[in-house]
Structure 1
Amino acid sequence: MDVKPLRYFTEVARHNSFTRAAEALHVAQPAVSMAIRKLEAELELTLFHRQDRQVSLTDEGVRLLTHAERILRAVDDARLEMEELRGLSRGEVRVGIPSMLGSYYFPPILMAFRHRHPNLNLSVVEAGTGSLQQMLEQSELDLAVIVAEEVPEALEARSFLREQMMVAVARDHPFARQLDVALSDFFDQELVMFPRGYFHRRVVDRLAGASGRTPDIGFETSLLPLIKSIVKQGFGISTLLAMVLQDDPDLVALPFSDPVWLDLSIAWRRDGYLSRANRAFVDFVLEQTGTVES
């Protein structure tokens, strides 16, 4: 089976359109249609429903899509490894980083890595850990930072950072005079939260579930500066990593009475090929945190 029709097939399945698939592939639309017809003839199966310009996968197409994506990942991994062995690739690192770490922890690490490896291309995506994990599993990223306690079987991971989640309040908030904050008191307050899919929100939802409480979320945003601004103005409280709060004089950081710690890991696909460029990045991150790779 030729690999090119499988690429065409997965793009049509992704876009539910022959025309948009052709645009994504930078080929003529008739070439995509012809490739799909030949693939269907070879398999003696109909892979797409075609009705009134609406395209959707048949049951057989759904089954093939799983195999096609796995085959294409393997082909891409093999091509990358062979290029590296021939010395044809300068190397690229595509890494996903959650918002808080992308803003406060990783900038100096990224700059230092680029200084050490000036010939490597570095592409950084900032999003919630849920989205990053999905992008990693779909090979849209090479590496991603995820919460260590939630590493799925499909991923390999190395822990590199343990950081405490702190309660963030304005300086004139009643909590500001306390030494710590009980979970029950925290959930009595109106909260400012990241949307679902961010590890910040996962922590709060997990704590709420364990306490039998429903969070009172007054504001929900993925913009970290906006969260801090809302808290400073007294319109709610939040919980953020200690590193985010340590240099902000307008916010008070308080630990939970029962401290909440997060173990963060850098992860990649277990069944994928980790290029030399990506291995160099993993080693560099572990080196910066004093973690020894085993």
Structure 2
Amino acid sequence: MELRQLEYFQMASRLKNITRAAERLNVSQPNITVAIKKLETELGIKLFDRSQKQLSLTPEGNIFLNRIELALRSIQDAVLEVNDYKQLQKGTIKIGIPSMIGAYLFPKIFSSFQQLYPHLDIYLYEEGSMTIREQLERDDLDFGIVIISDASASLQLLPMSRNQIVACIPEKHPLASKNSISINDVANADLIMLKEGSFLRQLVLSKIKRANIMPEIVLESNQIETVKGLIASNVGIAFLLDFIVKGAPGIKAVPFDDPIYVDLGLAWKKDRYISNAAQSFIDFCRNTMKEG
């Protein structure tokens, strides 16, 4: 049994697709197929149920996956720890960032950090806040800059800022004359929403539905500049964080009567080994917060 076989099996299990697993691991599809078949022969069991379109684990495969994920995580941590002794503060950092936060908040953090640690390689992955949390829990990312409200107890959190969700309304829209609005005010409005995987989307939609309102969603996009352009062109109303639309032309940012606040912060997995590279990023963010 080889380590590579276990890694191929783990990725195929997560993605439920051999082709996507091969793309993620940068190997050919036959390599993964052969490795998994050899693993099944060696174990004397079927790991996957191949009778359906989507690859799914057999009960035995599910038990095996749970066991090897712990083993692989321990091996990854051991490699990180050894590399830290060999190359102090040399390494890579994988960070997940929601598009709304990434475009406005992270460039300042990244620029300052890179000046201090130019030898570290930083890889950015743009996803929704909820998707990033899931990737952190699966050990696919080192960090996520996310909305930390209701985050899992398995994540360590470093609060960075508190921001208000505002209704972003075209300047010529009737609601733009208001100083604040209620959820009921948007009952008949055309809405532009962020895509699935966004905590902001989930939070706003849950409030709308609790008010027994059926939302009229005309467009969905995670491209913030596109969303702002659509608002300014009178296509519809969106719900974004206040600092995103501050001073944006053609848009009136209106808070809710009952203000909605969310906390942004840095998140990482509690039980993972923290490399020197990762610790340097935590320390940098913590010091940045102390300095205001």
Match runs of 1:239-250 below 5 Å? 239-250=239-250
For 1:200, give the aligned amino acid: L
- Structure 1 alignment gaps of length 5 or more: none
Query: 1:178-217 maps to which residues of 2 (within 5 A)?
Result: 178-217=178-217
Q: Is the 8 A contact 1:193 1:200 kept in 2?
A: no
Q: Which residue in 1 is equivalent to 2:68?
A: 68
Moved more, 20-29 or 78-87: 20-29
- SS in structure 1 of the partner of residue 222 of structure 2: coil
Specify whether residues 187 and 40 from structure 1 end up closer, same or farther in structure 2 by C-alpha distance, changes over 3 A only: same
* Contact 1:190 1:218 (C-alpha < 8 Å) held by counterparts: yes
Shift of 1:46: 3.3
The CA distance in 2 between the partners of 1:73 and 1:107, in whole Å, is 31
Residues 110/30 of structure 1: CA separation in 2 closer, same or farther (3 Å cut) = closer
Distance 1:190 1:95 in 2: 34
The 8 Å contact of residues 170 and 232 in structure 1, kept in 2 or not, is answered as: yes
Moved more, 15-24 or 230-239: 15-24
**Which segment is superposed worse, 104-113 or 182-191?**
182-191
* Secondary structure at the counterpart of residue 144 of structure 2: strand
User: Aligned runs of 1:250-289 on 2, under 5 Å?
Assistant: 250-289=250-289
- 2:89 touches 2:277 (CA, 8 Å); kept in 1? no
Aligned residue number for residue 164 of structure 1 = 164
The 1:184–1:12 alpha-carbon spacing in structure 2 relative to 1, beyond 3 Å, is closer
* 1:1-294 equivalences in 2 (<5 Å): 3-13=3-13, 14=15, 16-17=17-18, 21=22, 24=25, 26=27, 29=30, 33=34, 36=36, 39-40=39-40, 43-49=43-49, 57-87=57-87, 90-290=90-290
Please give the TM-score of this superposition, normalised by the length of structure 2: 0.87
1:60 shift after superposition: 0.7
Q: Secondary structure at the match of 1:205?
A: helix
Q: Secondary structure at the match of 1:149?
A: coil
Give distance in 1, aligned partners of 2:23 and 2:238. Answer: 46
Deviations 1:72-123 (A, max 9, x none): 1221111101110222661211111111110111111111110111111111
Between the two proteins, what is the percent identity of the paired residues? 31
Contact 1:83/1:89 (<8 A) preserved = no
What is the RMSD of the two structures over their aligned residues, measured on CA atoms? 3.0
Amino acid at match of 1:281: F
The letter for the 2-side match of 1:120 is L
Match of 2:283, SS state, is: helix
TM-score (norm. length: structure 1): 0.86
SS, match of residue 69 in structure 1: helix
Whether the 8 Å contact between 1:166 and 1:239 is mirrored in structure 2 is: yes
Q: Do the aligned residues in 2 keep the contact of 1:189 with 1:216 (CA within 8 Å)?
A: yes
